[in-house]
Homo-oligomer: A and B are copies of this chain.
Amino acid sequence: MVSSSGTESRRVTIHDVARSAGVSRQTVSRALNDKDEIDGATKQRVLDAARELGYRPSRFARGLVRQDTTTIGLVIPDLLNPFFTEVAAAALEAARARGWHVVVYDTADRAEEEFGTLQVIASQVDAVVGYFSCSEQDLERFTRGLPVVLIGREHHTGRFSSIRIDGEEGVHTAVAHLVAAGHRHIGMLDHDGRAEPSVRREWFATAAAAHGIAADRVVGAPQSADGGGTALRKLLGTHPEVTAVFTFNDIIAIGALREARRLGRSVPEDLAVVGFDGLQLGTLVEPPLSSVALDTRRLGALAIDQVARLLTGLEPLGADDLVVRAQLRLGGSA
């Protein structure tokens, strides 16, 4: 924090204003905080002096004595990914409704950034919300006693809260929809991020099994539209019999949609596509994307709500309430 006036410039304090206005510091405080136990003329004189000197109260000093501002740290892997943007927007809105401030951190999808972010954040906020890929142990190491709410990730120690994303039923419905439309050979474009297959793929496998169809036509894709396109081509190369695909998320699905068009496959006739997330973005493409949709607003709001409980010592929500269920939303791509 540095003063803005050009040269040298010590910070202008309440003391300077007091001296300049010929009153005491507490009178300055009264004038600035709109207390009524002050003479109108005095108040005006103080206000003028303050403006004159370019005085601005120190948020630290004020925070120290008033202990009433709450700041949440929101950690997002990638703000350019529309899904996270939607969650962030929802969280911001929920926080604003409570008069809270939200400091946003974008870890740029790099796990290494997380530690730095955590370190820097932990000393500056009252609670942390967001996505982390590091271990709970590391998380604990950096956040000490801070309330932490994880999104889209299970927690295994009692130390944390987490908002669970449950797409089992939604994916089941999606597969049922595809099967009802006559599809028997359904592929999946999974993400290729981690070593182990995604939970979404497990949901897909379960749903496929329930309908007596195979779930082994899976290709990994980077979480981008280009990645989705490439993956689709690879999938169709290996499994030309495929007439429908379910994807890890909407970004990948949109890439697949585009690729299908390039391959001369019309959607949904020649190839049905179902995404996951239910992004607003999905409504912009043609045909609009069918997707197993998540209520991102609820997701963000729920996280903030849980933080509020943690912060005020209210009874926190239990695991059963900390769930966002996905639902199939039909666009036209399937």
Distance in angstroms between the alpha carbons of A58 and B70 in the assembled complex = 12
The smallest C-beta distance from A315 to any residue of chain B, in angstroms, reads 9
Given contacts A60-B64, A62-B123, A96-B105, contact A145 B54 (CB under 8 A): yes
Q: How far is the CA of A144 from the CA of B54 in the complex (A)?
A: 7
A contacts with B, residue count (CB < 8 A): 69
Residue of B nearest to A72 (CB): B103
Contact with B along A89-127 (1 / 0, CB 8 A): 100110010010111111010000000000010011110
**What residue in chain B is nearest A73 (Cβ atoms)?**
B101
| Set of chain B residues within 8 Å of A46, measured between Cβ atoms | none
Report A281-316 CB contacts with B as 1/0, cut-off 8 Å.
101111000000000000000000000001111000
Q: Which residue of B lies closest to A124 (CB)?
A: B59
How far is the CB of A56 from the nearest CB of chain B, in Å? 6
Cα–Cα distance between A285 and B281 once the two chains are bound (Å):
10
> What copy number does this chain have within its complex?
2
Once the chains bind, are A2 and B105 in contact (CB under 8 Å)? no
Given known A106-B89, A108-B93, A313-B9, contact A280–B58 (CB-CB < 8 A) = no
- The contact of A99 among B1, B7, B120, by CB within 8 Å, is B120
On chain B, the residues within 8 Å of A71 by CB distance are 103
Contacts of A62 in B (CB 8 A): 123
Task: Say whether A123 contacts B311, CB under 8 Å.
Answer: no
Q: Is the CB of B59 within 8 A of A61?
A: no
Which of these binds chain B: A20-28, A78-86, A183-191, A213-221? A78-86
Interface hub of A1, A11, A69, A123 (most chain B Cβ within 10 A): A1
**Among B5, B80, B102, B120, contact of A86 (Cβ-Cβ < 8 Å):** B80
| A261 at interface by CB-CB < 8 Å | yes
In the complex, 5 of the A-B residue pairs with CB atoms within 8 angstroms, ordered by the A residue number, are: A56-B146, A96-B106, A101-B103, A104-B104, A258-B284
